Chain A
Amino acid sequence: MDQSITRPILWNVPVLFQVFMYGMLVPLGAVFVWAGLRWYRIVSLGKAEDRFDRPLIRLWIALRDAVGQGRVVRESWGWMHYLLYVAFVGLFIGTTIVFINSDIAWLFARLGHPFYFYDGFFYLVFKAAMDTFFLLIIVGAGATALRRAVARPSVLAQPPAEKIASNLENRLGYWAALILLLLVPLTGLMLEAARINAHPPGFVEWAYIARPLARLEALLGAGAGFHRWLWLFHVVLVYGLLFGFPLTKLRHFIFAPLNLFFRNLKPRGRLAPIADLENAEEFGVARVQDYTWKQLLDMASCLECGRCTINCPTVNTGKTLNPKFVVIEQRELLLKQAPALVAARQNASSNGEAKTEPAASGPDMITEVVTEAAIWGCTTCGWCEEGCPVGIEHIQRFVDMRRHQVLMEGSFPQEAANAFRGIENQGNPWGLEQARRADWAKGLDIPVLAGMERPQDLEVLYWVGCAGSYDERSQRVSRALVRVMQEAGVRFAILGTEERCTGDPARRLGNEYLYAMVAAQNVETLERYRPPRIVTQCPHCFHNLKNEYPDFGGKFEVVHEAEFIEELIRAGRLKPNSAAAARRVTYHDPCYMARHNGRFSAARSVLRALPGSVVGEVACSRERTFCCGAGGGCFWKEEREGTRINQHRFAQLCEADPETVAVGCPFCLTQMEDALKARSLEERMNVKDLAELVADALAPAKPSGNPA
């Protein structure tokens, strides 16, 4: 290689400046260690939780979503961060290369093994690459600054000032970091330009950004003195940025991959059971330190990007709950209380005592910091977790607080008590009579599992659910699904009056005790019959039976009606060939299928299989679906604040100009029909369950006798 093509390292830099540059590494390292220890102690305040299983999958997720920015680029504006990220990593690697060449190689040269490589063609490519990174970082940081200062999207909103007043980081962090991210590459380019002017080499065209800048500096007469002081300024700025990494939200460079590594690997929306419910003395979470360490790590990892709010049903309808605000407010509380908690723990362990908590001080987390309106607002739709680029788990944090309110305080919206009593006494949240659970099936010739002949022939157990059993509108869906299964010759049965609520509303509303009771009862019933498969029309039943009952000793194969019908069509057992159902249709994905279980294609292929139906899509569909407002037990309580979630969602669905809104959930059905009626659109549109649409597309029941 041509060793003349290079540049002198540290040209024109006085020794004192050099000493400063190297010397500052010591306090920087110390601050890194201090901040690391501090966060380690804070996060360790949380309760134990195993997040070390399946390390390879965890590593892959961290690589894909942090190193690969997999989740960042999902939103259109993610490119800004992507530019910053790529450029910053590039510049960091570049600086490291120069450091290795000048300092490490220098050491080795003294030992007689020189390996200088910062020259020749490598140097030229390196120059061009660094100039590109400088450009990218300026574009990225500039665009980000414009977004924050001019566009000011609502996702960037902050909690009320008094709630975060103590946090300098919150007020200065972004701007300090952004300004430094702009100034560091700018001054870097200017330094390069000054060097070019001082040593005009023949290869300057490779530094395609710095070269025009060099001309400008030459015109302005900037010389070696300018370069020297600019160099110092640049180094000071660089250190400003570097100190920002441990001290501001720039810490996400380590917390984001860490949080993604430890993220929940179980199906989203699956709640953690309370260990040893019978003997525990505290239930749920009332104080920050009652959370697990991962939940505290979540708080530490939040960057306040606000993606959790984009499709949040409460944020979009003017309600108190804002998942981002809650994380910020909880983190504020954690940081405020952490010093005393950490000190108490260290005292306790040095005295060899059991861990004791200091007496309660400061505001009450649930009622004063997060507020009850917020904790009861959550519909557990899961958007916040879908949207979060760093894998923060919001739902469990809310349910943990609900658990405390219900199980410890007995304080919750009054209407929820009716649902609890109904589930407890009659096995359904309406409190309608258990003995009438199978009344809808009268005259339909459906075998009940308990009295079934040849139970070994059973193909699927049809788990009807409370809505399908008791709600008049959903009973029509049950009958349609029965017709579909009978038409396809499916050997199915129902549990009849042995079926009870899965307990879903109780669990989402925080009544884990009631949930554990009904779950145990249902598992016992199902274990008695061991059905080869269970089909549900309700996504909530599906989710509970499939994802949550394993924690209560029941492992079952469960399918939702959409997938089951798709299977029947694909296997040729079901031939929807009547154009009676021809219409423009759009599918409203239920959260508990699309988002919590990642299933949205079956429903669409069923709709497409219906003769004459035209399937239109809206922007918020599939995993970006918008909640109907009924999830998380919210169906069982009043929606007191803001505008109505179901109407917000219905307006979105109208974008596709459908004649029929297709749903796959009895609660979505009620919510969308209510919204339809509220807009008086019954003449022009209707809401139908998938099973009803399929039943409509079946040829009318054949009259007996030979066809003519």
Chain B
Amino acid sequence: MKILVPIKRVPDPATTIRVLADGSGIATDNVKWVINPFDEIAVEEALRVKEKQPASEVVVVAVGEPAWQEQLRTALAMGADRAVLVRISPPVDTGAVARILARVAADEKPDLIILGKQAIDDDSNQIGQMLAELLGWPQATFASKVELADGRCTVVREVDGGLETLSFPLPGVITTDLRLNEPRYASLPGIMKARKKELKEIPVETLGLNLAPLLKVRRLASPSKRQAGRKVASAAELVSLLHSEAKVL
């Protein structure tokens, strides 16, 4: 079993995001970067498969700048076997990332691709779906439980108001939901070993892909600041304000 896990580098969720004055992007000074938490869950799930089927190989892949090595090393420290970094300079749109990953998948020929359902920075929720389409593979998104048996994959999905169980033949694409697992904390020998594991860098030009963007981010803006609440003296005043100002009554 060979599992490909695409990961993305995102700002730590605790970071307050500040949008640049011209709306072209976010300020990156003092930002601590981490693996996208949903992708970390994907790495963990791949490692759990490997624990059950020790002959498996877990390959992590990222599409980004050289600094993304840091997150690939973290995944290697968790226990992934090797890493691939497709080097590209931003901006990259989701369509380009999906096409690059499809190309990597064509080369690596994995049995399964597991990735986060979305990245917490742009929340686009597109890569998994696009990748499955480009590869012509079945997909199961928002997985909260994954089981592999006899060349088939059974996935429980969290849908509005309930659970849906899907089953598909391998190879296929799974995107992970929050409750799939609790990612492990890398052990120190894992961190040490990760330094010696293979991390292959591929300049994107050598792939010869047409990466013309399908969409362009025009502008980023901060959400408007929340107004402080107001204390009212009586229930009557509250009702009247809800009627006259909030216009909900």
Q: Which of B10-18, B145-153, B155-163 contacts A (4 or more CB under 8 A)?
A: B10-18
Tell me which of B12, B189, B190, B191 contacts A426 (CB under 8 A).
B12
Which residues of B132-182 have CB atoms within 8 Å of chain A's CB atoms?
182
Interface size on A, residues (CB 8 A): 23
Within 8 Å CB of B182, what residues of A?
414, 417
Q: Which of A410, A433, A434 contacts B185 (CB 8 A)?
A: A410
CA distance A17 to B186 in the complex (A): 71
Q: A414-B182, A425-B32, A425-B34 are in contact. Are A433 and B16 (CB under 8 A)?
A: yes
* Pick from A410, A432, A497: contact of B14, CB under 8 Å: A432
A433 CB to nearest chain B CB (Å)? 5
Query: Is A612 an interface position by the 8 A CB rule?
Result: no
Interface centre among B32, B184, B188 (most CB of A within 10 A): B188
Within 8 Å by CB of A513, from B12, B15, B30, B191, lies B191
Q: How far is the CA of A281 from the CA of B34 in the complex (A)?
A: 27
**Would A281 and B189 be within 8 Å (CB), given that A426-B32, A435-B30 are in contact?**
yes
Q: Of the candidates A281, A406, A434, A497, which one forms a contact with B32 in the assembled complex, judged by CB atoms under 8 Å apart?
A: A434
Are A410 and B186 in contact, CB atoms less than 8 angstroms apart?
A: yes
Q: Which residue of B lies closest to A405 (CB)?
A: B187
Q: Are A436 and B186 in contact (CB under 8 A)?
A: no
Is the CB–CB distance between B16 and A513 below 8 Å? no
Q: Does chain B have a CB within 8 A of A699?
A: no
Closest chain B CB from A278 CB (angstroms) = 8
A67 is an interface residue with CB less than 8 A from chain B:
no
Chain A residues contacting B185 (CB-CB under 8 Å) are 406, 410, 412, 417, 420-421
The residues of B that contact A436 with a CB separation of less than 8 Å are 16
Shortest CB distance B70–A (Å): 12
Name the one of A414, A421, A435 contacting B16, with C-beta atoms under 8 angstroms: A435
Asked whether A435 lies within 8 Å of B189 as measured between CB atoms, the reply is: no
Q: Please tell me if A431 contacts chain B, counting CB pairs below 8 Å.
A: yes
A414 / chain B contacts, CB cutoff of 8 Å: 182
Chain B nearest CB from A638 CB (Å) reads 14
Interface residues of A in 278-295 (CB under 8 A from B): 281, 283
Contact residues in A for B188 (Cβ distance below 8 Å): 283, 406-408, 513
Q: For residue A407, which residues in chain B have a CB less than 8 angstroms away from its CB?
A: 187-189
For the side of the interface on B, what is the size category? 10 to 19
The docked-state distance in angstroms from the alpha carbon of A551 to that of B33 is 30
Given A414-B182, A434-B30, A434-B32; A425-B14 close (CB under 8 Å): yes
Measured between alpha carbons, how far is A469 from B56 in the docked complex, in Å?
46
> In the bound complex, how far is the Cα of B189 from the Cα of A433, in angstroms?
29
Q: Is A50 an interface residue (CB 8 A)?
A: no
The A-contacting residues of B in range 21-76, CB under 8 angstroms, are: 30, 32, 34
Q: How far is the CB of A413 from chain B (nearest CB, A)?
A: 11
Q: How far is the CB of B110 from chain A (nearest CB, A)?
A: 25
Contacts of A426 in B (CB 8 A): 12, 14, 32
Does A162 sit within 8 A of B, measured CB to CB? no
Interface contact B14-A408, CB-CB below 8 Å: no
Q: How far is the CA of A420 from the CA of B184 in the complex (A)?
A: 12
A409 part of interface (Cβ distance < 8 Å): yes
Q: With A and B bound together, what is the CA distance between A432 and B13 in angstroms?
A: 9
Contacts of B16 in A (CB 8 A): 433, 435-436
Distance in angstroms from B34 CB to nearest chain A CB is 6
Hey, which chain A residues are within 8 Å of B187, CB to CB? 406-410
Give the Cβ gap from A548 to chain B, nearest Cβ, in Å. Answer: 19
Residues of A within 8 A of B191 (CB): 513
Q: Do B184 and A410 touch (CB < 8 A)?
A: yes
CA of A420 to CA of B34 in the docked complex: distance in angstroms?
A: 14
How many Å from the CB of A40 to the closest CB on chain B? 34
Q: Who on chain B is nearest to A426 by CB?
A: B14
**Complex: A406 Cα to B15 Cα, angstroms:** 26
- Measured in the bound complex, the distance between the Cα atoms of B15 and A691 in whole Å is 31
Q: How far is the CA of A249 from the CA of B16 in the complex (A)?
A: 61
Question: How far apart are A192's CB and chain B's nearest CB, in angstroms?
Answer: 67
Asked whether, in the complex, the Cβ of A425 is within 8 Å of the Cβ of B186, the reply is no
Interface string of B179-207 (1 = CB under 8 A from A): 00010111111110000000000000000
B186 touches A435 (CB 8 A): no
CB proximity to B under 8 Å, residues A369-419: 406-410, 412, 414, 417
Contacts of A497 in B (CB 8 A): 30
In the complex, A436 Cα to B16 Cα: how many Å? 9
B14–A433 contact, CB under 8 A? Answer: yes
The answer to whether B189 touches A408, judged by C-beta atoms less than 8 angstroms apart, is yes
Q: Which residues of A contact B34 (CB under 8 A)?
A: 425
Contact with B along A495-527 (1 / 0, CB 8 A): 001000000000000000100000000000000
How distant is A693 from chain B, measured CB to nearest CB, in Å? 31
What CA separation (Å) do A325 and B48 show in the bound complex? 36
Name the residue in A410, A417, A432, A513 with the highest tally of chain B Cβ atoms < 10 Å from its Cβ: A410
Partner of B190, one of A410, A412, A433, A434: A410
Chain A: CB-nearest residue to B183: A417
Q: Which of B185, B186, B191 has the most chain A CB atoms inside 10 A of its CB?
A: B185
A4 to B190, CA, bound (A): 84
**Shortest Cβ distance from B188 into A: residue:** A407
Cα distance A426–B182 in the bound complex, in angstroms: 20
Bound Cα distance from A431 to B30, whole angstroms = 15
Bound state CA distance, A605 and B187, in angstroms?
Answer: 47
Residues of A within 8 A of B186 (CB): 410
CA separation between A417 and B184, bound complex, in Å? 8
List A contacts of B184 (CB < 8 A): 410
Q: List 5 A-B contacts (CB under 8 A).
A: A406-B187, A412-B185, A417-B182, A426-B14, A426-B32
Interface, chain B (partner A; CB < 8 A): 12, 14-16, 30, 32, 34, 182, 184-191
Given contacts A281-B189, A414-B182, A513-B191, 14 further A-B contacts (CB under 8 A): A406-B185, A406-B187, A407-B188, A417-B182, A417-B185, A420-B185, A422-B14, A425-B34, A426-B32, A433-B15, A434-B32, A435-B30, A497-B30, A513-B188
